[in-house]
């Protein structure tokens, strides 16, 4: 019996258009690496966007767009050498496709059909290895999630690339999931990502693209964080309430009169004092999921006046996790300041379009993430 599912994650964004005669030319040439670190470069015909990807994790490694002066900047975090996607112990999950279950899963445990407190050992209960919060949480799909798996390059053109991954029930997940991720660049500053997956058995599937944005690309050496420079707007009135392991309690927080209210644009740091411990003990910053008011047409926008670059992200997913890189400490790309400089905490914001976090542990929501 083969269950067919079609899960489409459509992530697209549009960047402001600028008139300029300067081509969006990335500075370092593509590295000639072996699979799964092979680099594919895509270029929109109008030169508005140039993007590079590698097979491991179907990962976006560079994204060059023009600033208000017509000069190209690479607006996503990453490494000079894509092999560090595999070796960096900090493992920030730079811009990869994350699966089979993104974000946090309580104790790595779920049942099919789902239940709030599955009994370990029962026949319909699955146990995925934990890798976060002192062994109490499975984060981003397991010890080696899809972001560190060897996707294969299926096909490519000058403007589009498709990667394939077969997840044959690694780390105890039920059934085999076959996934295709297609990235496409288009005129007018558009990058579109579509992920489709089919499963041979009932399984939870929840995916995201874990892109870290810094729209100034660190071109002003005196500014290391996004707090004062980046404006954020989210069409959402509710944030998921979480416990001390950042697992949803099932309740929602009304954003009115809180530091979560980005319905009107704010700089990310506008209410920074109120973010102490929002992301867990000893942590300052955002790491929460906003549920879009219109769950089919949610929008997150981010822009910086310094570069004049703006990104509008829409997707067919109901929510966005916003993570302000609260634990970041990783050496920068050369064109972001190089080996002498690190990406530090709050140096970028990850905007992860996705489903409800841990809905498989929260049956009262009535959100079905079991693909069948
Ligand atoms: C958490 O998972 C472990 C197996 O790794 C299991 O022994 C334990 O009972 C689970 N705890 C809860 C509260 O479900
Ligand atoms: C990916 O492929 C490389 C090269 O063949 C191999 O060394 C590595 O173990 C593979 N990784 C996974 C997660 O399968
Ligand atoms: C959120 O709080 C505001 C202000 O108290 C209130 O007007 C609004 O109705 C609340 N929204 C929800 C969904 O409860």
Ligand 2 centre from 334 Cα, in Å?
27
| DSSP state letters, 18-65 | ---SS----SSPPP---TTS-EEEEE-TTSSEEEEEETBTTEEEEEEE
pLDDT value of position 340: 87
- 118: tokens are 């599955």
pLDDT value of position 11: 46
> Which has more confidence, 199 or 372?
199
Q: Is the pLDDT of residue 154 over 70?
A: yes
pLDDT value of position 22: 37
* Residues 319, 232: Cα–Cα separation, whole Å: 15
**Chain centroid to CA 326:** 15
- Using one digit for the tens of pLDDT, what is the confidence trace for 282-340? 999 999 999 999 988 999 999 999 999 999 999 999 999 999 999 999 999 999 998 78
Do 167 and 100 form a contact (C-beta atoms < 8 A)? yes
With the most atoms of ligand 3 within 8 angstroms of its CB, the residue from 256, 263, 291, 293 to mutate is 256
> Which has more confidence, 27 or 52?
52
Least confident of 22-26, 158-162, 239-243, 249-253: 22-26
* Residues 207, 371: Cα–Cα separation, whole Å: 12
With the most atoms of ligand 2 within 8 angstroms of its CB, the residue from 150, 165, 166, 171 to mutate is 150
Partners of 104 in the β-ladder: 139
Residue minimizing CA distance to atom 3 of ligand 3: 256
Which residues, judged by CB distance below 6 Å to any ligand atom, belong to the binding site of ligand 1?
107, 109, 120, 127
Ligand 3 centre from 147 Cα, in Å?
38
Q: What is the DSSP letter of 102?
A: -
Residue minimizing CA distance to atom 13 of ligand 1: 107
Q: What is the mean pLDDT of residues 188-192?
A: 96
| DSSP state letters, 185-205 | EETTTEEEEEEEEEESS-EE-
Q: What is the DSSP letter of 284?
A: B
**Chain centroid to CA 192:** 14
pLDDT value of position 29: 52
Share the mean pLDDT of the chain.
Answer: 92
- 223: tokens are 């500014």
- Confidence category of residue 141, pLDDT binned at 50, 70, 90: very high
Which residues, judged by CB distance below 6 Å to any ligand atom, belong to the binding site of ligand 3?
237, 254, 256
Q: What is the DSSP letter of 361?
A: G
Which domains, ranges and CATH numbers included, belong to the chain? 3-371 (2.70.98.10)
- pTM for the whole thing? 0.92
* Residues 312, 18: Cα–Cα separation, whole Å: 15
Q: What is the mean pLDDT of residues 44-72?
A: 97
Residue minimizing CA distance to atom 12 of ligand 3: 254
Smallest CA-to-CA distance from 349 within 233, 245, 259 is with 233
Residue listed under structure tokens 């397991």: 142
Ligand 2 centre from 40 Cα, in Å?
19
* Residues 166, 146: Cα–Cα separation, whole Å: 10
């Amino acid at each position: 019996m083969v269950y067919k599912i079609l899960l489409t994650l459509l992530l697209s964004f549009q960047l402001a258009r600028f008139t300029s005669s300067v081509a969006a030319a990335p500075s370092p040439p593509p590295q000639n690496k072996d699979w799964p670190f092979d680099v594919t470069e895509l270029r929109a015909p109008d030169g508005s966007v140039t993007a590079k990807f590698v097979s491991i994790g179907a990962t976006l490694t560079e994204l060059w767009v023009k600033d208000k002066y017509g000069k190209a900047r690479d607006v996503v975090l990453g490494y000079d050498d894509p092999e560090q996607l595999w070796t960096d112990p900090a493992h920030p999950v730079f811009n990869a496709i994350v699966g089979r279950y993104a974000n946090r899963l309580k104790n790595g445990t779920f049942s099919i059909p789902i239940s709030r407190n599955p009994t370990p050992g029962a026949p319909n209960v699955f146990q995925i290895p934990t890798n976060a919060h002192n062994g109490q949480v499975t984060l981003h799909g397991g010890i080696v999630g899809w972001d560190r798996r060897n996707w294969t390059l299926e096909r490519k053109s000058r403007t589009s690339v498709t990667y394939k991954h077969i997840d044959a029930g690694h780390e105890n997940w039920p059934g085999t999931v076959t996934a295709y991720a297609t990235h496409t660049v288009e005129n007018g500053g558009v990058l579109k990502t579509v992920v489709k997956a089919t499963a041979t058995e009932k399984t939870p599937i929840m995916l995201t693209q874990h892109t870290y944005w810094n729209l100034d690309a660190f071109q002003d050496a005196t500014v290391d964080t996004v707090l004062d420079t980046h404006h954020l707007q989210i069409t959402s009135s509710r944030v998921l309430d979480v416990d001390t392991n950042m697992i949803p309690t099932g309740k929602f927080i009304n954003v009115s009169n809180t530091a979560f209210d980005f319905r009107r644009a704010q700089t990310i740091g506008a209410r920074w004092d109120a973010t102490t411990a929002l992301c867990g003990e000893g942590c300052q910053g955002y790491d929460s999921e906003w549920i879009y008011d219109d769950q089919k047409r949610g929008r997150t926008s981010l822009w910086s006046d310094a570069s004049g670059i703006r990104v509008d992200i829409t997707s067919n997913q109901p929510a966005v996790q916003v993570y302000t890189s609260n634990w970041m400490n990783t050496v920068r790309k050369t064109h972001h300041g190089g080996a002498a400089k690190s990406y530090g905490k709050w140096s970028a914001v990850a905007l992860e379009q996705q489903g409800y976090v841990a809905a498989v542990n929260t049956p009262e929501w009535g959100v079905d993430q079991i693909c069948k």
